[in-house]
Amino acid sequence: MDTLATDTDILKAAEDWKAAGRGVALATVVETWGSAPRPVGSNLVIDDQGNFLGSVSGGCVEGAVVTEALDVIESGKPKTLEFGVADETAWKVGLSCGGTIRVFVEKVE
């Protein structure tokens, strides 16, 4: 995984994976509060095999986002995920940096 991938790399991967016949989802940071590790607009692209490129959190919630993205690819229904330090799941996924992030996950059609 390359967390320093550019937006162009991420969108190119989404396009290439889609062209290869894979299911693809795109996760985007849509809102942040407090000490968020990645800015609004940060992207993570995920394929139906669990491969991913990019970052929405500097590594702390990517696993949870990938899991949710697989569900979005299967169902076709977008989801908005929220991770925050006040949320006990934040500690489970490692978002202990004091911030809260909201991530929108959508299937790439």
Q: What is the pLDDT of residues 84-107, one digit of tens each?
A: 765 555 555 555 556 788 999 999
In whole angstroms, give the CA distance from residue 76 to residue 79: 10
List, in sequence order, every residue forming a beta bridge with 43; answer none if it has no partner. 28
In whole angstroms, give the CA distance from residue 28 to residue 99: 16
User: Do 28 and 69 form a contact (C-beta atoms < 8 A)?
Assistant: no
| Predicted TM-score of the model (pTM) | 0.84
DSSP 32: E
Q: Which domain holds residue 100?
A: 7-107
Specify if 90 maps to a domain.
Answer: yes
| Residue-level pLDDT at 6 | 86
**Total domains in the fold of the chain:** 1
Specify if 20 maps to a domain.
Answer: yes
Specify if 1 maps to a domain.
Answer: no
| Residue-level pLDDT at 84 | 76
Specify if 74 maps to a domain.
Answer: yes
In whole angstroms, give the CA distance from residue 80 to residue 35: 20
Specify if 86 maps to a domain.
Answer: yes
| Residue-level pLDDT at 1 | 44
Q: Per residue in 27-74, pLDDT tens?
A: 999 999 877 778 899 999 999 999 999 999 876 688 999 999 999 999
DSSP 64: H
